[in-house]
Structure 1
């Protein structure tokens, strides 16, 4: 039930009506705000985020927060209704590569229950973040392009969309490519792995969403970079944090707005809108649609995680005092980040990172940058039975339909994981001395690269939730966004592709707004008919 006055008890004001509502402030939601601000600046936009603002500017990556105590507080406030105890480590490397089945990391929170069904593998490490900027306030910034069968074949403008996604995310392939030990890593990896690969699938620097500030320090991209000054300076755009969208409203035309709960007061309001974009994340976007009674056959299905293998190595012949990086930085950029792209013949992708960006902790003293972490992500079989389902009786900590994860690795998945383990050992031997007896397989869900739950399709045949423009089949004006829209089996980090698809949807929405602006109103149409 909506309150008659859009001003709540805290004094903050929700609009009663806007042109566009965006649900979620991660990179995909931010991309909609940015593109609409650029292409349709007169459009009124309200963005609702369930989590708090934890950084300045809103959506800033927590790694850019210099003060460790302030950074730790930002991570704690991102951990949803049940944040970690203050005594737990705030360093994302602490305890990361342990053998706990339910891997817990700062800035994220695990599913409380429902993460595994009897006889299935489940997603024991399935996790989310609740904060302005979403998981992009905590991510590694890796932005590789999809290749070969990872690409969405029916999108003819995919490369143009990826180009624009790199612009919005401030992606660079060269920023750490000149690190003193980076070339040594890439040459050794290439000698071992490049044979038979196409030119664009050979070992190369990892494209990263990072830039240097005026002082030469690395600045990692979060949603703040995607929003850009174009959104922040737009008087018609407003971001409302700690605001839970409980359902999408519809009428006989399609999307009609949202119902939103002010989490500070518990008050519930209706915000009318002709267009609604749900970009909550790959688990909560289908949850919002389910709660709204919008339940296409594919909703929540084809859920895709990326099985992840990690290892570490000490680089061969690393100098005891390597030359400093050509740029001063608070992060020791000695070995950079190298990328081993996915191929159809080897359906996994690898990233080789110096310790500062690696999930494998270093023991003992070492030359800065000489110990690298290797992480291999595997493409998984896509099957409709892998899904996030929702209860019509049980609720989660937010009062939304409780999630139930159905997820099983196939025989081919296990074979892919075994090949990836062999490949990561070969890569570790190529670059140096492997550390540890064997690579470590993370528990399912640890990649945080969930995809497919609101997947895109070329036609409405029951196997997809939205069309190539990201508009939900059968619900005009309702768009879905984020990594959940990706329909292909991928091994590469999905954020660049998710933002690219959001840009495509935002362009379509901007065109729809322009068309609507020149269409006659019902009264104008009646007057025209009368004159005729």
Structure 2
């Protein structure tokens, strides 16, 4: 067997191996599978701790810098509607039942029951993952309603602070929006507590309005877009278009990762001291299942948010107070989760295609209202993986088994009533954009599928995200979150990844 253990990690990409060869990564090394915000958090912190990191992703590079948010292109700065098609064309639906064959170009899953599907759930395979498309919202969880067990409150606050710094989170980038001030005043008069939405973004200029959205590019730079990137560090290697098909394990150790170069079809096995899987809440448990790592809780306890939206044209008295000109800064507002109000609300112009502004309507007067409600944590809500049907990448096809209970439905109904109240305080619904639930899975905020816990029978990883029964395999992402939450999950996923990375670095 060839031994390349003395070569730097940077050199590894130049070697070509057959399936029977094993490639050794240098001492005190980590292999990170997945390059989204969570994988990039691990990379930034582990390289900073002196660990050699190889990061792989099944997707290719989409931008000039590793993990740069695609919305930073000038064409998308002034009209977020244009960015919707970029997202739709880049993220593939995870499970499409046979009944929807005619309306989808995605892979068909004959085992999927449409009634229990998260039909809008998608996965992005690209360097940077969903981090090159995401909306950038970074709220913290509510300490009671969205309590994250197994992490002390003060410790979680510290971890959030680290994650916020890595993302360059701010609440000031859109505070100059006149529309935002008008909407805030009216809703506060109606009894709401509206705030600026925490966003991973940097305001570059007001006139013309231009911002820089944080993707993994910013995380790899430690939160400063002008700082050096870990991507340029000699201890870091990125292998795009490399799919991990299985983790090789023996006893309590993962000994290697079988990786296929999608450009050439060649396979090889990468070896490291530590392995981190951060492929998302569905693709991470998929890889474990494909590898024969199948704890009883794998894929179970799945939570996904119920999501509703509507679109409002501001009333004449509010519209008369708006800016008049081409360089209008749009609002990005937030109504946080609260006790007695277990849903999270955002008011902005969305990029995920909730509803485009119709022709002939003044964009300045239009606000999207987007409300997210949590669901109860239940073991029977799950994603399972087939040993018979393969997905387009040859891995076990995921199938969703998800449903709402009575409490979930009542909570969702109360949420929509609350959203309609806020909307009518602002103006009138645009035709065809009245309050409506979106297709299940649209939120893309799945949690629980690789949940952390204190009991190996009811969780996949321990409180530091190490897989039960394996000493060198760690997981990251929303699947690790053991609670149902109503807010966006990226910041919490990154905060937990910070904790895990610190534990790995400490040995």
Q: Report the TM-score, using the length of structure 1 for normalisation.
A: 0.82
The SS at the match of 1:314 is strand
Alignment-derived partner of residue 213 in structure 2: 220
- Pair 1:32-2:28 in alignment: no
Deviation at 1:401, TM superposition (A): 1.0
Which of 46-55 and 362-371 deviates more? 362-371
Instruction: Indicate conservation of the 8 Å contact 1:104/1:110, yes or no.
Output: no
Counterpart residue number, 2:336: 341
User: Structure 1, residues 70-94: CA drift from partner, whole Å, max 9, x if none?
Assistant: 9899768734699xxxxxxxxxxxx
1:453 correspondence with 2:431: no
Q: Secondary structure at the match of 1:470?
A: coil
| Residues in 2 aligned to 1:142 and 1:192: alpha-carbon distance in whole angstroms | 24
Q: Distance in 2 between matches of 1:77 and 1:427?
A: 33
Q: Structure 1: where are the runs of 5+ without partners? A: 83-99, 195-201, 513-532
* Counterpart residue number, 2:224: none
Q: Secondary structure at the match of 1:135?
A: helix
Give the match's secondary structure for 2:430: strand
Matching residue of 1:486: 481
Q: For structure 2, which runs of at least 5 residues remain unmatched after alignment?
A: 5-11, 77-81, 222-227
For residues 212 and 417 of structure 1, what CA distance do their matches in structure 2 show?
A: 35
Q: CA deviation at 1:342?
A: 1.4
CA contact (8 A) 2:149 2:482 kept: no
TM-aligned CA deviation for residue 192 of structure 1: 2.3
CA contact (8 A) 1:144 1:496 kept: yes
Residue 312 (structure 1) shift: 1.2
- Structure 1 position 205, deviation (Å): 0.8
- Counterpart mapping for 1:60-459 below 5 A: 60-66=68-74, 78-79=90-91, 112-113=108-109, 116-117=112-113, 120-147=115-142, 148-156=144-152, 157-194=155-192, 202-213=193-204, 217-228=210-221, 229-316=228-315, 317-320=317-320, 322-323=322-323, 332-334=328-330, 336-354=331-349, 359-436=354-431, 438-457=434-453, 459=454
Instruction: Indicate the RMSD between aligned Cα atoms, in angstroms.
Output: 3.2
CA distance in 2, matches of 1:103, 1:380: 31
Deviation at 1:8, TM superposition (A): 2.7
Q: Cα offset for 1:37? A: 2.1
> Is the 8 Å Cα contact of residues 79 and 130 (structure 1) preserved in structure 2?
yes
Aligned residues of 2:84 and 2:351 also touching (Cα < 8 A): no
Q: Distance in 2 between matches of 1:337 and 1:102?
A: 37
Distance 2:135 2:111 in 1: 25
Going from structure 1 to structure 2, the CA distance change for 1:436 and 1:323 (only over 3 Å counts) comes to closer
Cα distance, 1:167–1:102 mapped onto 2, change above 3 Å: farther
CA drift of 1:154 comes to 2.6
Q: Give the CA deviation at 1:350.
A: 0.7
SS in structure 2 of the partner of residue 213 of structure 1 = strand
Total equivalences in the alignment:
473
Pair 380,204 (structure 1): closer, same or farther in 2 beyond 3 Å:
same
Aligned match for 2:458, one of 442, 459, 463: 463
TM-fit CA distance, 1:113 = 1.9
Partner residue, 1:58 = 66
Distance 2:389 2:460 in 1: 24
Give the Cα–Cα distance (whole angstroms) in 2 for the partners of residues 115 and 496 of structure 1. 33
**Counterpart Cα distance in 2 of 1:436 and 1:72:** 20
| Partner SS state of residue 367, structure 2 | strand
Does the 8 A contact of 2:307 with 2:437 survive in 1?
Answer: yes
> Matches of 1:81 and 1:142 in 2, distance apart?
22
**1:266, CA displacement in angstroms?**
1.1
In structure 2, relative to structure 1, the CA distance for the partners of 1:123 and 1:72 (3 Å cut) is closer
Cα distance in structure 1, aligned partners of 2:135 and 2:170: 14
Q: Once the 2 structures are TM-superposed, how far is the Cα of residue 36 of structure 1 from its aligned partner?
A: 1.1
What is the CA–CA distance in structure 2 between the aligned matches of 1:203 and 1:102, rounded to whole Å? 42
- In 2, distance between residues paired with 1:435 and 1:2? 66
How far residue 358 of structure 1 moved from its aligned partner, in angstroms, is 7.2
Deviation digits for residues 116-139 of structure 1 (CA, Å, limit 9, x no counterpart): 337x43211121111011111111
- In 2, are the aligned partners of 1:257 and 1:271 still within 8 Å (CA)? yes
Displacement of 1:485: 0.7
